[in-house]
Amino acid sequence: MAITGVLRPGHVAIRVLDMEAALNHYVNVLGLIEVARDEARKRVFLKAWDELDHHSVVLRETDEAGMDYMGWKVDSAATLERLAGDIERSGLCSDLGWVEAGEHPCTGRRFRFTIPTGHVMELYADKTVTGNNCGTDGPDVNPMPWPDGLRGIAPSRFDHCLLYGDDLDGTVKLFTEVLGFGLAEQVMAGPERNFMIGAFLSCANKAHDVAFIRQPVKGKFHHASFILNSWESVLRAADILSRNKTSIDMGPTRHGITRGETIYFFDPSGNRNEVFAGGYIYYPDKPTITWTDEELGPAIFYHDRKLNEAFLSVFT
């Protein structure tokens, strides 16, 4: 296996204000699949149809929308121990500690820490593989292209998050020098173009697995994104969103950054979602793409070539 260390985004925990309304959105409109409930903690666990692990989205009912944490799957228990030590020795993070196995259903213990931008992250090595219901003789035997009974937009998996925070430099240092991510793209500002205002980071071969935008806030959530197969699927998603009277933020359109096709919309609690297709293949030897602040319009929305103000100012 060539990919080692941090393998991919594993889950995102999102706070919602009304669980019934949230489930209608995430199950019937977005098309995720409910897999478990934790009534005591007011949590529901979901997954996208082509994710083999038990869950990728955790909804928690509370009185403030936003993101609780983002989880990353690593390649082994030994890597989990090593990275936990590396994070502690780096001095870049706070509130470090272990979450015991079983606190998430079907999940081993997780190492949790707060990064310089104020976001809570965690690493884990073990989560039960439950399959995608595509195989007639088991999850990995003679599979069909997709399972029956999909609802709504039906993305194949949770893809990435975009997060807002103040200490972008410390967070990029953590992800690149400690966790082993590559800096696929960056947005630079200032007369000498040496002040980073955006970073798009990859742990494997996607254009990004997480992105950060510098803002004078701590721990804010811009969006969680889910992957589709094609531009046509993004257009179909727009039809489904309109049919369900879902609040659309922007799109369908294309990004300059990552080259992906996109549409942004809001869940009933005001958390932004994205469905995303395309992008390029990233390898560690690919030079970092740089965008400058005067070209931020086409960097974000390539077709319009200008920013939607709500895209910058609305977050949870």
Instruction: Find the domain containing 54 and state its range.
Output: 6-124
Q: Are residues 51 and 119 in the same domain?
A: yes
**pLDDT band (50, 70, 90) for residue 138:** low
| 74 and 173 both lie in a single domain | no
Catalytic residues: 160, 208, 223, 255, 264, 274
In a domain, 249, yes or no: yes
Q: Are residues 95 and 181 in the same domain?
A: no
Compute the mean pLDDT over every residue in the chain, rounded to the nearest whole number: 94
The arrangement of strands across the sheet holding 157-165 comes to 248-254, 260-266, 272-278, 220-227, 157-165, 210-214, 195-202, 182-189, 289-292
Please give the angle made by the CA atoms of 43, 48 and 53, to the nearest 5 degrees: 80
On whether the CB atoms of residues 169 and 92 are closer than 8 A, the answer is no
**Residue 52, domain CATH:** 3.10.180.10
Last residue of a domain, one of 124, 148, 172: 124
Q: Which of 124, 151, 184 is the last residue of a domain?
A: 124
> Does residue 135 fall inside a structural domain?
no
Give me the mean pLDDT over the 147-158 stretch.
Answer: 95
Residue 130 covered by a domain: no
| Cis upstream peptide for 216 (omega within 30°) | no
Do 170 and 85 share a structural domain?
A: no
Rounded to an integer, the average pLDDT of 39-53 is: 96
Proportion of the chain above pLDDT 90, given as a percent = 83
Helix (H) or strand (E) holding 286: none
Same domain, yes or no: 104 and 249: no
224 with 103, same domain: the answer is no
Question: Is 116 part of a structural domain of the chain?
Answer: yes
- What token pair was written down for 19? 């669980």
Confidence at residue 55, expressed as pLDDT on a 0 to 100 scale: 97
Measured distance CA(226)–CA(228) in Å, rounded: 7
Structural domain count of the chain: 2
Q: Is the pLDDT of residue 7 over 70?
A: yes
pLDDT of residue 310: 75
Residues 94 and 23 in one domain: yes
Residue 140 belongs to a domain: no
Range 108-136 average pLDDT: 93
Of 99, 124, 149, which marks where a domain is finished? 124
Are 284 and 175 within one domain?
yes
